[in-house]
C-alpha cells in the first residue's frame, strides 16, 4: 500500500494487485505495527520467513532492507533482524501509516494523527486560498461532485475526499505539505469505517460533503480565515466521529 488511495481502495475488501516484494513488506510491516512481531524481538530466521511467504532469499532480503530504511527493523550480525523501538519508525511514511489501519490504535495515537493533520492542512488551506489556480478550483469542484454522487458508498466517498485534500495541498504550493497525504488518507479511512449504523455513516458522509463545499468556496473566493476554520471543523468532526464510536463500542463490552 504505497500509492495514494490504495488504503482507501482496500476498504471494499477487493484484493489489490501486488508483487512478491510488496507482499512481504506489507505482511511483516503489519505484523510489526500490530504487535505480532513485538518491539525488541528478533524476527524469524530467513529460512522460516522464506517458507512462510513462499519467496526467495533475494526477495526477502530486499523487503527487510526496505523495512530497515523505514526505521522498522535493524539487522545485527550474528543476532538477526530486530524490531526497532517505535521512536525510530518513520510515522510519516505512507506505508507505515497504512499498516496502522490494521492495528488496534489507542485514543491518544488517534488524537495525535488528527492533531498533526489539523496543523498541516490548516496551513495548506490558508496558502491554497492565496495561490490556487483556476484549474485547481475546477478540479476541486469536480471531486466535490464525486463526493455527492458517492454518499452511499463509503470507499468512493473517501477517495473523492482524499482528492479534494490532495488538490488543496498541491494548491498550497508547498511540496512538504503534499507529503502529508498518507496521514490524511489514514484518518479518512478511520472515519469511513467508524460505526456500524448505516444511517449514521451516511449522515456523516453528507456532513463532510457539505463542509467540503464550504471549504472549497472559501478557497475559490480567497477567504483564507474561513477556509482555515472550515478545514479545522472538518478534521475535528472526523476525530469526534472516530472517538465517539470507539467509546460507544467500549461501553457495550
Residue 97 belongs to some domain of the structure: no
Residue 96 belongs to some domain of the structure: no
Per-residue pLDDT at 2: 59
Tell me the pLDDT band of 3, cut-offs 50, 70 and 90: confident
Tell me the pLDDT band of 130, cut-offs 50, 70 and 90: very high
- Same domain? For 132 and 241 the reply is yes
**How far apart are the C-alpha atoms of 211 and 145, rounded to whole Å?**
13
pLDDT tens digits for range 72-123: 999 988 889 999 999 999 999 999 999 999 888 999 999 999 999 999 999 9
Per-residue pLDDT at 64: 96
Burial (Cβ within 10 Å: 0-12, 13-18, ≥19) of residue 10? middle
- Same domain? For 214 and 142 the reply is yes
- Same domain? For 82 and 115 the reply is no
- Same domain? For 75 and 112 the reply is no
Q: What is the CATH number of the domain that holds 66?
A: 1.10.10.10
- Same domain? For 154 and 67 the reply is no
Q: What is the CATH number of the domain that holds 236?
A: 1.20.120.530
- Same domain? For 84 and 209 the reply is no
Cell triple for 27: 505482511
Please give the average per-residue pLDDT across 36-65, as a whole number. Answer: 95
Residue 1 belongs to some domain of the structure: no
Q: What is the mean pLDDT of the chain?
A: 93
- Same domain? For 78 and 110 the reply is no
The answer on pLDDT for 17 being more than 70 is: no
- Same domain? For 25 and 117 the reply is no
Q: What's the whole-model pTM score? A: 0.89
How many percent of the chain have pLDDT more than 70? 96
In this structure, what are the phi and psi dihedrals at residue 155, rounded to the nearest 5 degrees?
-65, -50
How many percent of the chain have pLDDT more than 90? 83
Q: Who contacts 105 (Cβ-Cβ below 8 Å, separation ≥6)?
A: 190
| DSSP string for residues in 70-129 | TTSEEEETTTEEEEPPGGGS-TTSHHHHHHHTTS---HHHHHHHHHHHHHHHHHHHHHHH
Per-residue pLDDT at 16: 55
Burial (Cβ within 10 Å: 0-12, 13-18, ≥19) of residue 42? middle
- Same domain? For 50 and 136 the reply is no
Instruction: Report CA Rg, the chain.
Output: 20
Please give the average per-residue pLDDT across 30-35, as a whole number. Answer: 95
Number of domains in the chain: 2
Residue range of the domain that includes 29 = 6-88
- Same domain? For 166 and 238 the reply is yes
Amino acid at each position: 500500500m504505497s500509492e495514494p488511495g490504495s488504503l482507501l481502495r482496500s476498504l471494499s475488501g477487493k484484493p489489490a494487485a501486488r508483487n512478491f516484494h510488496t507482499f512481504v513488506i506489507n505482511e511483516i510491516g503489519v505484523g510489526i505495527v500490530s504487535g505480532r512481531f513485538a518491539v525488541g524481538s528478533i524476527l524469524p530466521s530467513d529460512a522460516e520467513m522464506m517458507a512462510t511467504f513462499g519467496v526467495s532469499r533475494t526477495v526477502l532480503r530486499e523487503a527487510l532492507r526496505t523495512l530497515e530504511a523505514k526505521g522498522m527493523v535493524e539487522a545485527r550480525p550474528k543476532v538477526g533482524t530486530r524490531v526497532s523501538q517505535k521512536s525510530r519508525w518513520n510515522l510519516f511514511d505512507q506505508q507505515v501509516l497504512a499498516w496502522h489501519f490494521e492495528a488496534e490504535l489507542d485514543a491518544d495515537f488517534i488524537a495525535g494523527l488528527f492533531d498533526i493533520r489539523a496543523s498541516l492542512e490548516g496551513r495548506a488551506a490558508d496558502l491554497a486560498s492565496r495561490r490556487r489556480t483556476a484549474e485547481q478550483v475546477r478540479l476541486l469542484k469536480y471531486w466535490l461532485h464525486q463526493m455527492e454522487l458517492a454518499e452511499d458508498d463509503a470507499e468512493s466517498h473517501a477517495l473523492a475526499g482524499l482528492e479534494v485534500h490532495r488538490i488543496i495541498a498541491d494548491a498550497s504550493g508547498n511540496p512538504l505539505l503534499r507529503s502529508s497525504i498518507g496521514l490524511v488518507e489514514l484518518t479518512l479511512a478511520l472515519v469511513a469505517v467508524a460505526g456500524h449504523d448505516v444511517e449514521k455513516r451516511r449522515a456523516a458522509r453528507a456532513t463532510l460533503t457539505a463542509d467540503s463545499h464550504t471549504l472549497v468556496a472559501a478557497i475559490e473566493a480567497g477567504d483564507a480565515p474561513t477556509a482555515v476554520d472550515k478545514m479545522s471543523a472538518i478534521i475535528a468532526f472526523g476525530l469526534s466521529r472516530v472517538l465517539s464510536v470507539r467509546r460507544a463500542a467500549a461501553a457495550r463490552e
